[in-house]
């Protein structure tokens, strides 16, 4: 279903902790509805490369280099501020899907979805994605979650993964396949953003 020229401005924000599947479903929704896709994580990763971090390998955020950049971000909020300002600017143009942690709190408009999943399930998915062991993925994920929560608490004052007040929909994806998540969110998007009954 492509977007009609007469439709209202669409701003869709997908959030969720690492391994919840937010990037995968955000990209698929953008393709399905003819919307532009922007990833806060990819923009931050690009900035990391610009200041000398090595970006090679799958599962970069859970790698030693990715964790090192998280620690740098914890001490220097300029990376996050730059990315979040750009995403806010893109949101004002509309017809976008934002894959972002902070935008749900920063945006005054838009439809916001949180994907919830247990730490164990997220670690399992990351281990499968990156070809690592569950224990390695679980350990890296716990550290990534801890640092990410500190960054957003100190920078914006919200508790990532604990405060769900900005969200219009919270979907527990722990027991759902990628297809089930995509199908469910397609129904949600069509009902609430495109008025399809």
Query: pLDDT for 177-191, tens place per residue?
Result: 999 999 999 999 999
In a domain, 2, yes or no: no
User: Is the full-model pTM beyond 0.75?
Assistant: yes
Q: Nearest to residue 166, comparing CAs of 95, 88, 91, 113?
A: 113
Provide the strand spans (E) within 20-102. 36-39, 96-99
In a domain, 168, yes or no: yes
Count of domains observed in the chain? 1
Q: Does an H or E element contain 113, and which?
A: strand 111-116
In a domain, 6, yes or no: no
Please give the pLDDT value at position 58: 75
In a domain, 137, yes or no: yes
Q: What is the CATH number of the domain that holds 124?
A: 3.40.50.300
In a domain, 5, yes or no: no
Check whether 2 has a pLDDT greater than 50. no
25-71 tens-digit pLDDT: 999 999 999 999 999 999 999 999 999 999 977 789 988 999 999 99
Domain holding 76, by residue range, is 11-192
pLDDT band at 86 (very low <50, low <70, confident <90, very high): very high
Using CA atoms, how far apart are residues 100 and 87, in angstroms rounded to an integer? 9
In a domain, 29, yes or no: yes
**Ordered strands of the 169-172 beta sheet:** 36-39, 96-99, 11-16, 111-116, 169-172
Using CA atoms, how far apart are residues 152 and 140, in angstroms rounded to an integer? 19
In a domain, 157, yes or no: yes
In a domain, 180, yes or no: yes
């Amino acid at each position: 279903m492509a977007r009609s020229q007469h439709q209202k401005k669409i701003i869709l924000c997908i959030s969720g902790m690492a391994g919840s599947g937010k990037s995968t479903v955000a990209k698929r929704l953008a393709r399905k509805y003819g919307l532009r896709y922007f990833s806060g994580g990819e923009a931050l990763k690009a900035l990391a490369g610009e200041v000398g971090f090595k970006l090679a390998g799958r599962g970069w955020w859970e790698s030693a280099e990715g964790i090192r950049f998280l620690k740098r971000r914890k001490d220097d909020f300029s990376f996050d501020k730059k990315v979040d300002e750009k995403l806010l600017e893109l949101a004002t143009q509309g017809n976008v899907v934002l894959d972002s942690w902070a935008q749900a709190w920063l945006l005054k408009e838009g439809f916001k979805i949180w994907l919830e999943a247990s730490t164990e399930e997220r670690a399992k998915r990351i281990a499968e994605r990156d070809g690592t062991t569950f224990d390695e993925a679980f350990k890296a994920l716990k550290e990534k979650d801890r640092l990410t929560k500190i960054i957003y608490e100190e920078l914006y004052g919200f508790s990532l993964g604990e405060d769900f007040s900005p969200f219009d929909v919270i979907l527990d994806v722990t027991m759902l396949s990628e297809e089930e998540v995509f199908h469910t969110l397609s129904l949600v998007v069509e009902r609430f953003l495109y008025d399809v009954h």
